[in-house]
Each structure stands twice: as C-alpha cells, then as structure tokens.
Amino acid sequence: MERVFFAVLFTIFIVAAAGTLYQEPQVIFASHLQDGTLVYGGSVMLSWDVVVRNNSIILSNLDIWVSNRDSGARVGLESSPLIEIASYNLYLGTSSTPKLYASTGSNSYFVDRLSNDTVYYWQIVAIDKNGNRYYGPIWYFETR
C-alpha cells in the first residue's frame, strides 16, 4: 500500500513540477528596414526574420508502475525545438495601430502605391502550424 501511495504522490509531484517549468516562447523579430528609413519612389520591399524558440521543458515517457517486487517511476525530460512559422500577416497603415494589409507565406512583401510625405507603420504577426500567433513590434518608415 505504501508503494501505491508513493507512486501516486510522485506522479502528482512530477505533473506539478512540469507545470512550473513552462515558459512562454521567446520570439525574436528583425526588420531589414531600419525604423525611420526614408523611402523614395512610392514603393518599398518589406522583409523580416522571425525566430520562435520554445523555452519550455516538456515531459516525455512518463511511466509509473507498481508491482509485488518494486515500485518506481521513470521520467524523461526534453526541451522543445524551434517552432516553425507557417505564414505571416502584414499589418500596414498610416495609423500607429496598422490594419491587416496582406497574408503571405514569405518573409518579404512588396508594397507599392505609397503616398509621398507620409509615415507608414507596419507590423508582422507570425503564425505557426498550430495557429499560434506571435506579434512583432510596430515599425515605421517615411516616404518622400
């Protein structure tokens, strides 16, 4: 009976510990267009890089057994890999809270028909294959 109690208590401890090991993914956004860049000619190529790292440690192969001879537990821990981005939403506009402009599977987008002497704000939202969204900073450029 003590072995069963120990196995159940150990299981509860492992599950609780796994919950405390979870951390939000680390997302790094990089724009290839420096903030405040002056753009001439009415068009611009926006490009960016996004890296999403899952800093969590996940449990795998959680086995707990009880038998007449012994009881015990085996737990495997592994870190999560990089998260693969499936698509991007590009937000663009003259307001500091830009609206959805386009969706793309590429990490660049050509924008034309820009107005002269205007500040444009843009943001990238990366979407992984599970539908999770990662919001980047709002960048800006100015047209002449």
pLDDT 10s per residue in the chain (144 long)?
566 566 556 666 655 555 555 567 888 999 999 999 999 999 999 999 998 887 655 555 545 455 555 555 555 555 556 788 999 999 999 999 999 999 999 999 999 999 999 999 999 999 999 899 999 999 999 999
Domain boundaries, position 38:
2-143
Does this model's pTM top 0.85? My answer is no
User: From start to end of 24-68, where are the E strands?
Assistant: 26-31, 37-39, 44-53, 57-66
| Residue 17: predicted pLDDT | 57
Beta bridge partners of 77: 59
| Residue 112: predicted pLDDT | 94
Domain count within the chain: 1
| Residue 83: predicted pLDDT | 85
- Of 137, 48, 45, the C-alpha closest to 85 is 48
